[in-house]
Amino acid sequence: MRTASGDERQDHDAQGDGEAQGDREEGHEEDHEEVFPFVPAPEDGTRWTAPTDVEQQLYRLTRTGNAYAYLRTLAIEGVYYPVRLDEARAAGEDEFPMLTVPLGDGRVAAQVYTAGLLPRTHPHLVYEYATLGALAGILPGDVDILAVNAATPCEEYFSTDDDERETWLDLHHELFEPDGLGDRVVTRRTGAPPPGPLLHGLACGAHLCFQNGDAWNTPHWHGSGYRGEVGRIAAGWGVHGRDDWRSTQERLLGLEVSPWHWDFVLDARLALAPGGRGGHVDPQRWRALVEAELRARARENGVPADDPEFADMIADLRTLVGEVLRYEARFRADGLLPPDGFVRTIAAWDIGRGSNMARWGRGARYATEAETLAALERASKAARDAYGSWEEFSAGYVLGRCLHFDEERFGSWYTEVLDAHRALTGDPESPWRTVPFTDEPG
C-alpha cells in the first residue's frame, strides 16, 4: 500500500521500540553493471514471460497500441525512478533528485520502471517509488520524454508537457488507492532464486509481503523505494544505520526480540504432554508447572519469594496460559489450526520479521547483498529447526503477532494476518504451495 507521495508503506509488524544511532558505516559491497533493466524482446512467434502480472498486462497493451490503458495501469501501481545513492542520501524531505538522460537531439528523457522489472540492487544507484500523480509534480521541468520500462518488451514512451502531466494527475485521483496494493500474493515468474535455502528463507517472510503487496521471491529488494525503506525501519524499528540493522537482524534471527516468557509458557505445556509432543493438557497443571519453574529460577537467581514484581510476573504468566488457550480455540474455529492443533513455539514471529528485515536492510543500503542472502538462508534454517510445515509456521507467527498487538480483541491485528494465512495456504502461486517446507530428499 504505497502512499501517494511515494513515502514508505506501513510495516504492520514493526517492533515499536529501539534507539537511533544515525550510523552510515559502509560494508564491503560488490560492484556490478546491472544498473538499468535490459530484457530482450521475445523471438517472433514466442510468448514473453513477464516478471509479474503487471508487466504482462503492459506488454499486451503495448502490442495493441493502447497507451491510455497503459497509463491507467501505471496510475494504479506507481513507478520507480533511478537516483544516485549519494544524491538520495543528501536529499531533503521536499527534494526529489532524479537521474535523467540527455538525448542526441537535445531533448532529455527520464526513465521509470514498474516493480517487476527493477534490476539487481546496485551499490551506487537506488530506485525511488512515486505514484503517477506524484511524478507529475517532481519530474524535472527540462524532461521532455518519460521512458517507461525502456529496453524491455513492455516499453512505452510519453510526452511530459503540461497537458500530459494533467492527465497523469487526473488518473491518479481516479485510480490510485493508498491501501489498494496490499493484501495480494505477488510472485515473480522470472529472476527469482532456484529452489533451495534462499528461496525458502524468502518464503518465511510471506505474511508481510502479502500484506504490503510485495513480490515474496525477490532478494534484490527495492520495496517502497530507497526513501521508503529507510523510513520504514527507522519509524518501526529504530534502525537508522548499518550497526542498528546488524544488531536488529541478529536479534531477530537469534529469536531474541519476542519476550522470552512466551515460549517459556509453551515449553511448560510440552513438558507435561506425553513424550513431550504437546497437545491437550490440564490447564491447572500447566499453570502450576509455569509457576513452579519460575520459582525454581527465582531461587537460583536469589530473588526473594515475596518480591512484589516477581509475584506480578507469576500472575501474568499464569494468565498467559489462558490467553494462549483462547487464541488457539479461535484459531481452530477459523481453520488456522486443525481440530487438535496447537502452537509449539512462537519462533516464527521473529523468523518471519527477520526474513523481511534482511530485505529492508538491503533496500535501505545498510546491508550488503551477501549479508542479505546469508540472513535469508539463516531464516530458512531457523524455521525448519522449529517447525514441520508452513501451516505450523504460520500459526506460530499469528500467535506471536496477536500476543504482541491484539490483546485478545480479535481485531484487525488478528483478522489481517488471518486473511494472509488463508491466501498463502490457498493461492496456487503462494510460496506455501510451491516451496516445500522441509528439505526434499536428495
Instruction: Kindly report, residue by residue over 193-234, the tens digit of the pLDDT.
Output: 999 999 999 999 999 999 999 999 999 999 999 999 999 999
Say what the pLDDT of residue 298 is: 87
Q: What is the pLDDT of residue 27?
A: 63
State the pLDDT at residue 7. Answer: 34
Mean pLDDT across the chain, nearest whole number?
91
**14-27 pLDDT per residue, tens:** 675 443 333 444 56
List all residues 6 or more positions away from 51 whose beta carbon is below 8 Å from its beta carbon: 116, 117, 188, 189, 190, 191
pLDDT over 50 (residue 360): yes
DSSP label at residue 95: -
Q: In angstroms, what CA-CA distances link 228 with 2, 6, 70, 233, 336?
A: 9, 7, 25, 9, 32
What DSSP element (H or E) covers 110? strand 108-112
Contact 237, 231 (CB under 8 A): no
User: pLDDT category, 274, cuts 50, 70, 90?
Assistant: confident
pLDDT value at residue 4: 34
Confidence of residue 276 (pLDDT cuts 50, 70, 90): low
Q: Cell numbers of 372, please?
A: 542479505
Across 19-23, 27-31, 157-161, 360-364, least confident range: 19-23
pLDDT in the model for residue 17 = 46
The packing angle between helices 347-363 and 369-386, to 10°, is: 170
pTM: 0.92
CA distances from 84 to 37, 81, 97, 101 (A): 16, 10, 8, 13
Written as nine digits, the cell of 174 is: 481516479
Residues 28-46 have pLDDT tens digits of 677 888 899 999 989 887 8
pLDDT of residue 20: 37
Range 367-376 average pLDDT: 97
Per-residue pLDDT band for 3 (boundaries 50, 70, 90) equals very low
How far apart (Å, rounded) are the C-alpha atoms in residues 407 and 322? 12
Tens of pLDDT, residues 84-139: 999 999 999 999 999 999 998 999 999 999 999 999 999 999 999 999 999 999 99
177-184 mean pLDDT: 92
User: What is the percentage of the chain residues whose pLDDT exceeds 70?
Assistant: 92
How does residue 279 score in pLDDT terms, banded at 50, 70 and 90? confident
pLDDT digits (tens, 9 = 90+) for 61-71: 999 999 999 99
Give the list of residues 6+ apart from residue 312 with CB closer than 8 angstroms, or none.
Answer: none
Q: How far is it, in rounded angstroms, from Cα 170 to Cα 184?
A: 26
Inform me whether the pLDDT recorded for 303 exceeds 90: no
pLDDT of residue 174: 98
- Residue 401's pLDDT band, with cuts at 50, 70 and 90, is very high
Q: Looking at residue 165, what is its pLDDT?
A: 97
pLDDT beyond 80 at 435: yes
- Answer whether residue 301 shows pLDDT above 90: no
Quick check: 5 pLDDT over 90? no
Lowest mean pLDDT among 269-273, 350-354, 376-380: 269-273
